[in-house]
Structure 1
């Protein structure tokens, strides 16, 4: 039979029938055209459900009966006791109302305590919660983990926006931050939150993290918060919920908020607002994880963009020098003011802006050599030779890394998400004072190293050996494009 016929037979609305079907209480068959085909069994089952619901038996109990997990007699006995208790409670309430009517007391002169004592005594004797007032408060979501993860997503979003901005617009490398810088960034993220989150709440009634998990924030009249209300709420969260991001104190405030929420208490910043949960469907967890993955991908993309130098394609010596100086600043290795000029030679920038050129000679700061074909730089290298000098010899890894990145990442064969940078750095770092060859993405790098009279203690320097009769160190380094 059709759903219209089923409505007539059962006296239920279409919405009721669909609801019980979605709850798995009935399962109609399907006709070839896709329409539902209800049976006599569905009619009788719906009438039984209708009867039990009219007796105020809960849907969960009805499901248990239908699935054979509970007996009907058992459920009816419990429901009868519940109804009898409710009848006694209602009788007590009616008795108090009759007494108050007989006393003819105006509200202004009402002695509430004497009537409350009667109610509380009766409720205590019956162990009844009938007289407990429920619902006379703004709705709150007492799910601390759901709220925590919603907040975590929002904080991660604000932090990612700040990190990406610092990288893309201020050429900062977040991986080189000091502990003090991290603490300062934590305060900055809170300031971003203070100004941005009220905008979300005012226009959308939620935030990105809350929206993903089905949470919504409204004013006490059911409307959206004003911007001022949003600021007040957010400031309350920053102080009492996050402890102003002060190390250790913030952990205490988060734990305190968790305990209050678990104990079904209203958090201080939510006392004047309604915090509701639209639903907790499983797809929300999937979209949440997807949102986290998207934030990570966006931050990774911003980092990858900053690893690409300003000049790419057919490089000139001047282009290479600019790329090298870019990495000097990005990795914060420019504190001594040495840089490469347009000719690829070392120079020092003085405070007054004049340039001083240095004669490097055989010092550990190498002199780069360049191979240019038809105006295009195809190879960069340097040689270091030390003979008869009984002194510590520093590693040239820094110069190989920076020149390698400046040259390799400037090639057209290296894409945004190439792993060349990390592989190149790993190859150099793992072969300090050792010969090696490295080839990837059309780039070939090699270093030939020989030395005598020195010990390598994996400290980044070679130390003269006691009693050695001679001291020699030779390094031949080159990075070349195989696409010339």
Structure 2
């Protein structure tokens, strides 16, 4: 016999269930209890609801600095290689701007590869920002690339100074008002933020200070 309340196996002489305390004969069955499986749809809806509840916060500045960390980190080795192979590449301001745009566009491919391979990027990892796909699947390269290109176009304005400022303001307003960006909505993504912590903040600040110090030093040397 088995208890109908908790499923514990009982002997014929038992007057009550030692696990849950059931005492009446109506609480006893001759068959073991088997949980009815939930449908995949019900599980998916439950998972999405739990994710939505857990990540209701919106942190546009954390997302911004995470992306700047990625782009700056990527630009260091790329800029070094270009500078060694083409010493005059940064001689003119317009050439420097063009290279900046190309580096930013190149990052969309590198970011896509990292998202598929690791599910994150150095900046997103450092700033405790991660993706949750509402479909419950993982990124494919085409999906990751599509999102990265939309960020490059809609959010960063391809890196062109004035256009970039306008698109970032628009993206900021949409994120704060709608709780999501257009590229995350298109990809079916929810962004989850966790506590960054003091050590990560120190690492980030140190990196940005050293990066800008390196830029200033390079400008002084060129002058």
* Fold match (TM-score > 0.5): yes
Q: Which residue of 1 aligns with 2:164?
A: 250
Q: Which residue of 2 aligns with 1:384?
A: none
Q: Deviations over 1:413-460 (max 9, x none)?
A: xxxxxxxx96xx99xxxxxxxxxxxxxxxxxxxxxxxxxxxxxxxxxx
**Pairwise mapping of residues 210-225 of structure 1 onto structure 2 (< 5 A)?**
210-225=124-139
Match of 1:167 among 74, 78, 83: 83
Sort the Cα spacing of 1:225 and 1:218 in 2 relative to 1 into closer, same or farther, 3 A. Answer: farther
Partners of 1:230 and 1:218 in 2: CA distance: 13
**Pairwise mapping of residues 13-162 of structure 1 onto structure 2 (< 5 A)?**
137=52, 139=55, 142-162=58-78
- Let me know the Cα RMSD of the aligned residues: 3.1
8 Å Cα contact 2:111-2:121 kept in structure 1: yes
Q: CA deviation at 1:247?
A: 3.2
Sort the Cα spacing of 1:229 and 1:293 in 2 relative to 1 into closer, same or farther, 3 A. Answer: same
* Equivalent residue pairs, number: 171
SS at match of 1:248: helix
Match of 1:259 among 151, 173, 188: 173
Sort the Cα spacing of 1:298 and 1:199 in 2 relative to 1 into closer, same or farther, 3 A. Answer: farther
Which is helix-richer, 1 or 2? 2
Partners of 2:99 and 2:160 in 1: CA distance: 12
Q: CA deviation at 1:289?
A: 1.6
8 Å Cα contact 1:158-1:192 kept in structure 2: no
8 Å Cα contact 1:218-1:274 kept in structure 2: yes
Partners of 2:212 and 2:116 in 1: CA distance: 27
Sort the Cα spacing of 1:243 and 1:173 in 2 relative to 1 into closer, same or farther, 3 A. Answer: closer
Sort the Cα spacing of 1:150 and 1:140 in 2 relative to 1 into closer, same or farther, 3 A. Answer: farther
Q: CA deviation at 1:159?
A: 2.6
Higher RCO, 1 or 2 (CA under 8 Å, sep at least 6)?
2
Q: Which residue of 1 aligns with 2:198?
A: 282
Sort the Cα spacing of 1:196 and 1:144 in 2 relative to 1 into closer, same or farther, 3 A. Answer: same
Q: Which residue of 2 aligns with 1:186?
A: 100
Q: Which residue of 2 aligns with 1:129?
A: none
Partners of 1:161 and 1:147 in 2: CA distance: 23
TM-score normalised by structure 1 residue count = 0.32
Partners of 2:140 and 2:214 in 1: CA distance: 31
Partners of 2:213 and 2:137 in 1: CA distance: 35
Partners of 2:138 and 2:174 in 1: CA distance: 25
Partners of 2:106 and 2:202 in 1: CA distance: 27
Partners of 1:188 and 1:281 in 2: CA distance: 33
8 Å Cα contact 1:218-1:275 kept in structure 2: yes
8 Å Cα contact 1:217-1:276 kept in structure 2: yes
Gaps of 5+ in 2: 1-48
Partners of 1:261 and 1:192 in 2: CA distance: 25
Sort the Cα spacing of 1:230 and 1:187 in 2 relative to 1 into closer, same or farther, 3 A. Answer: same
Sort the Cα spacing of 1:183 and 1:140 in 2 relative to 1 into closer, same or farther, 3 A. Answer: farther
Which is strand-richer, 1 or 2? 1
Tell me which structure has the larger Cα radius of gyration: 1
8 Å Cα contact 2:126-2:196 kept in structure 1: no
Partners of 2:194 and 2:161 in 1: CA distance: 34
